[in-house]
Amino acid sequence: MKNLFLGVALFVFMVAVCEAHLCLFNPQQRGTMNGINAAGSNDCILLDGPCGGRKAMKPTVGIMAGVPYTVVFQKNLDHFNTADPGMFVVSVGENSASPTFKQVGMVMDSGTPSLHVYTMNVTFPKVMSDGAVVQVKYVTNNKQAPAVFYQCADIMMF
């Protein structure tokens, strides 16, 4: 019985540690969308800026500069800090080795539960080239969690 308890406790701990934190639905994030709504999705726990260590992909969508566009993303695990709330930031930049991002939208973390889906209407400016990168960051402001989670999507700008 003791071994069963330890096994269950270890499984619960591993699920909690591996929990996904930020997923980008629209435009579609780099990588796959496998298991995106399940706890522990490897496609959603990206900690290295600017794009979680994921390399550029073929653009999945074309977006017209100057026209409102709806970005859809998910807070897969809540890291709300009541003393210093974090935020979700949407930015766009050129698809280059070292992109410079321009912020186009931001929403404060308000303690919404894990798996909450956000929609944000933004207007993208024209970038210098046709290829662009949409970046979404979850800035936690929580010392008990990683400082920032990243997701990027490759788009064509018109």
Domain extent listing, the chain: 2-157
- Give pLDDT tens digits for 63-109: 999 999 999 999 988 889 999 999 999 999 998 888 899 999 999 99
User: pTM for the whole thing?
Assistant: 0.83
Q: Residue 13 pLDDT more than 50?
A: no
Mean pLDDT calculated for residue range 48-76: 93
Q: Residue 38 pLDDT more than 50?
A: yes
Give CATH for domain 2-157.
2.70.50.70
Mean pLDDT calculated for residue range 32-36: 79
Q: How far is CA 153 from CA 4, 46, 57, 71, 72, in A?
A: 42, 13, 8, 11, 11
Query: Are the beta carbons of 46 and 36 closer than 8 angstroms?
Result: no
Q: What is the pLDDT of residue 97?
A: 80
Question: Across the chain, which distance is largest between two alpha carbons, in Å?
Answer: 64
More confident residue, 24 or 114: 24
Mean pLDDT calculated for residue range 129-134: 84
